[in-house]
Structure 1
Amino acid sequence: MNEELIRVENLKVIYKTTDEIVQAVNGISFTLNKGETIGLVGETGAGKTTTALGIMRLLPERTGKIISGSITFEGNNLLELSDEEMRLKIRGEKIAMIFQDPMTALNPVMTVGEQIAEAIRYHSEKINESEIGKRVDEVLELVGISSSRKHEYPHQFSGGMKQRVVIAIALSCEPDLLIADEPTTALDVTIQAQVLAMMGDLRDRLKTAMILITHDLGVVAQICDKVAVMYAGELIEVGMLEDIFVSKEHHPYTIGLFGAIPNLEEDSDRLSPIVGLMPDPAKLPRGCNFQDRCPYCMDVCKENNPKVYVNGTHNIACHLFSEKQLWKGDNYE
């Protein structure tokens, strides 16, 4: 039986300024077992990165705030821990994060070896400098970089190699959970494939659970066990990989995401984008957040939030399902 690693329940995050309150994450819930990978998918502005920063307790100090919910990691609610406990016992050691842009994630005036060693030294007080040096060499080799390059600076590495260094820093203390925020977005296709293959191999070898944030369903299909589709701060569809890629029952937004993927077996002049834009998170509509873009919007969608339809491991928040109508692509019955 799989052992649960992290459980996020009813997490709500806002950004509060003098002008407005942005409802960035609105009551999301999901679980992840040890060694599993979940893909968090959605458009820019859906709340994916805010969810990750909430788990890490790295929200902007003055504006970002978790107003409700719980994040239970290995039996402890992370929201009840002090800043010092998060810094010394959780971040880096238990939960590590690969930030979105490798170009800005590294310190330009420190060698890559010094930056990896800093993470190890911070979380392993009893380890001596000789052992730290050996560990730096091991981690660099683990991500496919020669240990002889540890004395080089970030500007001496390509974008793909910088991303490998960022991954090396994240893995240096062998965390139980790795959060990867669009780790391949800034890389070319060939390097993307190499980085994804490496992350999958490291996950299998170290048994590290992963939260992979991306907008690329191809990446999700390649590396994930579970998928959570996010829209306007809410999880509108969650399931195992087979539920999302094989099942015929889907939220209209998920169908729109798949419709925007080019089909190499068919000739087409244009893709099929989802019409419209995501609602302003500071002025979310009453009822379903997807109503203005949904071709199947009903009156009930404009008045009430949809309930979650559950079919085994597959959860869908849509009135088409809450009205006991099963979505079948072009028809529902």
Structure 2
Amino acid sequence: MKRIDERDVMFSRSNYTKGTPEYEDYYKRNPENKDIDDSIRSKPNLCSPGTMSYNPINSPMAESAFMFLSDIKKLSEVNPKPNKVEINPKIITERIKGYTKFYGANLVGITKMKDYHYYSHRGRHVENYGEEITSKDMHTYGIVFAVEMDKEMINRSPMVSEIIATSKAYVDVSVIGMILSYYISSLGYEARNHMDANYLVVCPLVAKDAGLGEIGRNGILTTREYGSRVRLGIVTTNLPLIEDDSIDFGLEDFCNICNNCSRTCPGKAIPKEDKSLVHGVNRWQINQEQCYDRWRSLGTDCGICISSCPFSQNLDFMQDIDNFKGNTDLINSILKQYKEKYISRPFIPTPPDWLK
């Protein structure tokens, strides 16, 4: 699989300021992206005045969470203690998983890190723009964990309640990752916390290989337990661990029939077509420009594709089914019940009482 260049990710591209070396370099190499990126940059930022959802009291709740994350991201890399503790891989794997859940993770898995899990180059920030990610930056194992986002808050997508929930989840996984990385370094092993705006890895790819879920039509990880309604954290390490197997609960077959996220996407950014070859892998590819452009208009990170996924709703008539693979009649029956319950998607039009 071809490695992804973080400079091409929309979050990076939106940060390039006209006239700077980063701007000139990126659009010299990618002139086809300049006009759409300039147009997106001309719009207000998320949680800002001028966006559809802006509230002068509530919007800063999400913004403050991201400010906090920006302040702590420098702590992501910890120097290990000089003396390594002798480790039994089976025992420490159990300890790590239990410790991660004790700190609030709902799901946790472990995988051996592959080359394609890492970005090829960094691009999110001026201070490391264009830095190549090489073997010296890579670790042997990835500990991947997910926290569930509040269902009722996500079902208020795309309003401010949604981004308050997603920003909290980013904080939750970042703090868990910090604790894990500090713990592992105290045992004398290298560890790095990959967190919001400071990733070296592509989180959904690592999480898929660690057995947390599969990547659905909306381009993000979908878990069997919580659907797309999770946020991911990753700690990479050279601590010897036992890896988990990837899983296949039939999501591709389900997404092929469902298509609900594509129908409800306000930016028309999610493909209706079958999978195609992307970076050497047969997968669905969202249009990130159309997606992020809608975010900047809304003032939130939207979340409609998350709430519209049947797996995100903890529905009773889906919970006892182990695998949907090849079961077309069952999938159609479930989607019929889903549409009878929600028509197109669940939507709570008013904020919770504490945000009114």
How does the TM-score come out when normalised to structure 1?
A: 0.27
Which structure has the highest strand share of the two? Answer: 1
Normalising by the residue count of structure 2, what TM-score does the alignment of the two structures yield? 0.26
